[in-house]
Structure 1
Amino acid sequence: MSEIETTKQVARRTVLKGAAWSVPVVAAAAATPLASASVPACPTCIKAGLPIVGGLIAGAWTSVALVAGNKATLAFPNVFGLDATACGISWTNIFQPAFTYVVLSATLTMSDNNTYTSAVGLGAGAGNISTVGLFPGAFIFTNVALPNGGSAIGIPPYAPVPKTLTVTVKTTLQYGLGLSVECPMTLVWNLHGVATGFVLGGIGTLNFSGTATA
């Protein structure tokens, strides 16, 4: 074999060897962006919110119970929602300002620790990091047990009264180019309820009121 032919074979083996090594390098480089595009963690800055009216948090609520057979229906007005106003720059660096959500459940706990669920007021809504996104509607709780008794001015206090409202939601946050992440959340409000009115023989009217805090 001539020296020229030997040189050509060595050069060809060198090229093939280099090509074999270059294939996985290119493949690894192509896979890197996919591996690094991780889903962001759900933010912890979304809280149980109340609307702000005149610079003050407006958490006042009222509900009238018409009692029959020591049972009544309690309706809670639409003053509850999602508050993302504290998210700030940490949010906008990752997510778009607007978000959507679906209310999955609402549970009322009375001061006697009995709980009731609402089939009303559930559904879709929207919010923004600059505002409190109110829930779609009022919650209505049925068959709430209310014993005989009462109070003219809240003294002595009538029991039971609304204690807490717990709402579960699924929030959808947008990020990147058309990407989204779903974040389940549980929000709780303390209702600080009091009652006036009377229930006698299982029948009566009670006026509940309070100021919710998150």
Structure 2
Amino acid sequence: MSEMENKSRSPREVGRRAVVKGAAWSMPVIAAASAMPLATASAPACPTCIKAGFPLVGGVVSGAWTSVALVAGNKGTIAFPSIFGLDATACGISWTNIFQPAFTYVVTQVTLRMSDGKTYNSTVGLAAGAGNVSTVGAMPGAFVFNNVSLPNGGSVAGVPPYPVVPTTLTVTVTTTLQYGLGLSIQCPTTLVWNLHGLAAGLVLLGTGSVNFTGTATV
């Protein structure tokens, strides 16, 4: 463009071209700034401090369990008391813990494994519960397993002991934790207890009674 043509342009036209050029330069900056909240608003990772545990019962850590099964047609029901808990003592308040102290959870599945390898799911105890960091809270209910296969065997005196006993209890919960200003995150957690016990009783021709006793460890 010649010097004569530059001089012939009005101040208004020159100013308009400068504004358009400046707006085009600023568009990438605005786009980058608008994308920043999306990156900083990503949800945190689920904590690993929530584990299986035992609540205090009468000031004593529980863990002992017992269940009597009446057997008919080689099937019986095994029920566990509310001795199992959700342990959040490792989630103490610190600068590394961004979650609020109170949380809620829902028990979604409870599975019992017997020493013969068979597994059973409980339809009882699938309920909502509440917990707090630095504490151990009891599960919202007992667990009941129906139609457990209990073969013939055992003796009236308990020697030899009944051959099939519970071995593990697995509870799956979905925990909802709060953080920030009204934000929350849902975390699936699997809790496992090892069941150590003996069984005394007799099942003969598919009918009888078996008394299960033992302790649980995590």
TM-score normalised over the length of structure 2: 0.87
Q: What is the DSSP-based 3-state SS (H/G/I as helix, E as strand, rest coil) of the residue aligned with 1:88?
A: coil
Q: What is the DSSP-based 3-state SS (H/G/I as helix, E as strand, rest coil) of the residue aligned with 1:66?
A: strand
Q: 1:170 Cα deviation (Å)?
A: 1.1
State the partner residue of 1:204: 208
Moved more, 170-179 or 195-204: 195-204
Number of positions where the alignment pairs a residue of Structure 1 with one of Structure 2:
214
Q: What is the DSSP-based 3-state SS (H/G/I as helix, E as strand, rest coil) of the residue aligned with 1:13?
A: helix
Deviations 1:75-126 (A, max 9, x none): 1111112111112346863211111111111111001111111111111111
Q: 1:150 Cα deviation (Å)?
A: 2.0
Match of 1:20 among 18, 24, 32: 24
Correspondence 1:80 to 2:60: no
Q: 1:134 Cα deviation (Å)?
A: 1.8
Task: Say what the alpha-carbon RMSD is for the aligned residues.
Answer: 2.4
**Where does structure 2 lack aligned partners over 5 or more consecutive residues?**
none
Deviations 1:26-58 (A, max 9, x none): 332132122221111111111112113577531
State the partner residue of 1:162: 166
Q: 1:141 Cα deviation (Å)?
A: 0.5
State the partner residue of 2:187: 183
Report if the CA contact (8 A) 1:154-1:194 is conserved. Answer: no
State the partner residue of 1:95: 99
Report if the CA contact (8 A) 2:93-2:101 is conserved. Answer: no
CA separation of 1:153 and 1:14: change in aligned 2, threshold 3 A: farther
Correspondence 1:31 to 2:32: no
Report if the CA contact (8 A) 2:161-2:201 is conserved. Answer: no
State the partner residue of 1:140: 144
Q: What letter matches 2:179 in structure 1?
A: Y
Match of 1:106 among 103, 110, 113: 110
Report if the CA contact (8 A) 2:77-2:144 is conserved. Answer: yes
- Whole-angstrom CA distance in 1 between matches of 2:101 and 2:67: 34
Structure with higher Rg: it is 2
- Whole-angstrom CA distance in 1 between matches of 2:5 and 2:71: 110
Q: What is the DSSP-based 3-state SS (H/G/I as helix, E as strand, rest coil) of the residue aligned with 2:130?
A: strand
| Identity percentage of aligned residues | 72
Moved more, 11-20 or 98-107: 11-20
Q: What is the DSSP-based 3-state SS (H/G/I as helix, E as strand, rest coil) of the residue aligned with 1:181?
A: strand
Correspondence 1:43 to 2:47: yes
Correspondence 1:118 to 2:141: no
Match of 1:172 among 173, 176, 186: 176
